[in-house]
Amino acid sequence: MLLGSTPVARILLTGSTAGIGRAAAVALVQQGHEVIVHARDERRAAASAVPGAAGVVTGDLASLEQTRALAAQAAAIGPFDTVVLNAGLARMTATERDLTEDGIESTFQVNTLSAYALAALLPRPRRIVLTSSALAGDGRLDLDDPSYAHRAFHGREAYATTKLHLVLIALGLGRHWPGTDVLAFDPGWVATAMTARNGDRAPLTPEHAGERLARLATGGTVPPDSYDTERAWTPGPSEHDVATQDALLRLCAAQTGISLPA
């Protein structure tokens, strides 16, 4: 049952053509939920279809224009009980930044700004889950230079910092929107195509993490600190700092041109 009351939930799940997201979508469909999956484009949607999914939306999260269009597609299908913002980009070994068509560093745009934009644009659900990571503990918050225009770029640091952003966004949105549970999720070190591209041999399966994510999307309880993990790192005083949360939300609004609804 979703959030203790609804036997069948309508769920939007981004980044669901592979890895953790696809495993979560499969698990949710098997549980009888109405799942709308997301792919970057029509080709990926066709190649990685989730049997039994109620629908699919497409859009490249490295484009603000396509992210807005994706939100419009999803809004036309919704409203949703739960929105899972799982899509992400990792360029862990990169030493040079990669800019999107919007002139924004790609890891920051795909991981942080798209999550903020979709949360702000979609009809507000009862629960939002953002896929973060315990690597958030290694993030370096620099709200004056989020696209690495004035400092050396390190792919792993950029990734960890966006995961820290997602924890801050979850805590900030949860405070601003008391009627919505906003949670951050640490899937653990999972063997996916993303980790393989970065030369990692991770111990956990996508199915393990996907089943956890499916439970979090539909469960009735909220984890401590609004953060679900099987690892040691959890949000501390710096992540719970209200001024820092709001400063990041203002930065996201400025970078996307999308104001946060009250």
Q: Cα–Cα distance between 78 and 90 in angstroms, integer?
A: 29
**39 and 66 Cβ atoms separated by less than 8 Å:** no
pLDDT at 233: 97
28, 162, 252 from 111: Cα distances, Å: 23, 6, 12
Mean pLDDT per 10-residue segment, the chain (262 residues) = 67 95 97 97 92 97 98 96 97 97 98 98 98 98 98 98 98 97 93 62 84 96 96 97 98 98 91
Which residues are bridge partners to 10 per DSSP? 34
Q: Cα–Cα distance between 190 and 143 in angstroms, integer?
A: 29
pLDDT at 182: 98
Q: Cα–Cα distance between 38 and 43 in angstroms, integer?
A: 12
pLDDT at 193: 63
Give me the helices (H) in the chain, please.
Answer: 19-30, 42-47, 64-77, 106-107, 114-121, 155-176, 193-197, 206-218, 242-256
Active-site residue flag, 148: no
Q: What residue ranges define each of the domains in the chain, with the CATH number in brackets?
A: 10-256 (3.40.50.720)
Q: Which stretch of DSSP H or E encloses residue 129?
A: strand 127-131
pLDDT at 4: 52
Residues 6+ apart with CB under 8 A from 226: 170, 171, 174, 181, 182, 183, 184
Q: Which is the catalytic residue, given 116, 148, 159, 227?
A: 159
pTM above 0.85, yes or no: yes
Which residues are bridge partners to 37 per DSSP? 13, 56
The 3-state secondary structure of 170-196 reads HHHHHHHCCCCEEEEECCCCECCHHHH
Q: Cα–Cα distance between 33 and 7 in angstroms, integer?
A: 8
Residue 116: name the closest of 176, 156, 30 by CA. 176
Residues 6+ apart with CB under 8 A from 189: 195, 200, 202, 203, 204
Q: Which is the catalytic residue, given 116, 148, 163, 227?
A: 163
**109 and 116 Cβ atoms separated by less than 8 Å:** no
**What dihedral angle (degrees, nearest 10) is formed by the CA atoms of 24, 26, 28, 32?**
180
